[in-house]
Structure 1
Amino acid sequence: AWDCGIAVVSMVLLALGKIDTPLFALAESPDQSVWTIDLATILQRFQVPDFTFFTSYIGINWQYTNDAFYNDALGDDRERVHRLFASAADAGIRVIPMALEASDLRRFLMSGQYAAIVLTDLRYLQCIACARGTGFMARRLFPLVQGWRAGHYILLTDFLPDKGQFIYRDPGSDASLCYVTERVLERARGSVGTDNDVIVVRI
């Protein structure tokens, strides 16, 4: 089944020459909901040599147990997600318990050597190009109700300092590239429920 997180990891693996078919076509997606630690585990499974997972919370945040968006998935996923975090170091997955600052994110991207898988809240993500009608906004794929959260993964590829904009690829958009201001991105990736999850990958 299609999943935005699996789609974004596929973008990375395709760029690195690790696969030649998107993962969702190869049934590599976990049976349960996809969490960022699942994406890190897939990168490790395909022997991606240099990536780091930054998060402000290790495991499943207990504060979300009564949240409607997470409620259905938490019961099935809790044991698996905690097990993956607990075994991450032994598996060679580098997990850093901190929220990556925007300045560090800019520095990684502007080096030309890294991309970043970022978990956002789709309610707050707004592509500048899509807003002008040059692409299909990913949010149209989701029947959002006001007040609901909608976790959505994107792949940041560059930063334009003269415009203050991040360039990213959105698996839910038909636009080849999307653009977002730093202010909008910070709101989307810092929203409650994202845990500031970012995987920085050397490409």
Structure 2
Amino acid sequence: MANNIIEGLQKVAKEMDNECSDVVEVALPHIKQRFSWDCGISALLMVLGEDNRYFLRNNLREISLKEGFGRSTWSIDLAYLLRRFQVDHLYCTITFGVHPEFKNEEFYKQTLTSDVQRVNEKFEQAYENYVQVQQRSVDIKEILDHLRNGFPAIVLVNANELACDVCASSKCWREWLTCCQLLPSYQGHYIVVCGFQQRGSRILYRNPANSNRVCSTSFEAFNKARKSFGTDEDIIFVYQ
């Protein structure tokens, strides 16, 4: 009985510490993207367990052919991969399928024609394939609550609007430029949100384009980057 009471008090104390803690961070391995197109895959690798990470890395070509995405991954492709590896998740987006106006975005022009059928079919078949998709916007509070519970999230952002406090004045901004050819308007890019700092209202994230480091940006800048036209406000909450 005494042990149960002590364990209960320790649990409550830990929960109070988490609530009061200025910084919350989910520990993740850092995976740097190898090509200009694989930021989504690299983000996914960061949230997979070690065995699944090894398997995906060594069988990526075969799996990408089966999944049909080749070198053009959409958020729905990442959600299907999470399901393939039996990782609980929730994918939220404001557009169910391919946004019709994307055809006017330079970023999407090269691949949209070949991607649209696959992407729309995956959305339509998501329920029967046990892929969790909700068509809705997500506010910052929901993201912070998810992080506070110890889980990361994969987020699609406009790289041109993503300003890291660390990278702005260090060599990793040059690393970023070598990994992604920034377009003048929209540049889709996946990051893994892994924590936050309450004081100063900063989001912590891992950027696959950079070397092993945790980046930081303001809530305001983060919201601007993830809500830019072209992202559909795509976010995948990972429960692992």
> Is TM-score (shorter-chain normalized) higher than 0.5?
yes
Which one of the candidate residues 66, 82, 93 is aligned to 1:55?
Answer: 93
**For 1:17, which of 50, 61, 75 is the aligned residue?**
50
* 1:6 CA displacement: 0.4
* Superimposed CA distance per residue, residues 47-91 of structure 1 (whole angstroms, 9 cap, x where no aligned partner): 11x210000001000011222211121110111001111111111
Question: What is the aligned partner in structure 2 of residue 7 from structure 1?
Answer: 42
Whether the 8 Å contact between 2:157 and 2:228 is mirrored in structure 1 is yes
- Corresponding residue to 1:171 among 205, 208, 223: 208
Calculate the aligned-residue CA RMSD, in Å.
1.8
How many percent of aligned residue pairs carry the same amino acid?
31
- Output the TM-score relative to the length of structure 1: 0.90
Tell me the amino acid that sits aligned with residue 174 of structure 1.
S
Match in the other structure for 1:39: 78
Q: 2: distance between equivalents of 1:91 and 1:120?
A: 26
Shift of 1:26: 2.8
Which ranges of structure 1 fall in alignment gaps of 5 or more residues? none
Structure-2-length-normalised TM-score? 0.77
> What do the CA deviations read for 1:105-163 (whole angstroms, capped 9, x no partner)?
11111222x1110000000111111123163456412232423x110000001111112
Distance 2:174 2:215 in 1: 10
Could you tell me which of 116, 124, 149 is aligned with 1:86?
A: 124
Kept in 2, the 8 Å contact 1:7–1:22? The answer is: no
More helix, by proportion: 2
Retained in 2: the 8 A contact 1:155–1:169? yes
Unaligned runs of 5+ in 2: 1-33
Is the 8 Å Cα contact of residues 7 and 171 (structure 1) preserved in structure 2?
Answer: yes
- Mapping of residues 118-137 of structure 1, within 5 Å: 118-133=155-170, 135-136=172-173
Structure 1 segments of 4 or more deviating over 3 A?
A: 22-25, 134-139
CA pair 93-170 structure 1, distance change in 2 beyond 3 A: same
Aligned position for 1:146: 184
Find the counterpart in structure 1 of residue 232 from structure 2: 195
Whole-Å separation in 2 of the counterparts to 1:117 and 1:137: 23
For residues 137 and 103 of structure 1, what CA distance do their matches in structure 2 show?
32
Aligned residues: 198
Q: 3-state SS of the aligned residue for 1:180?
A: strand
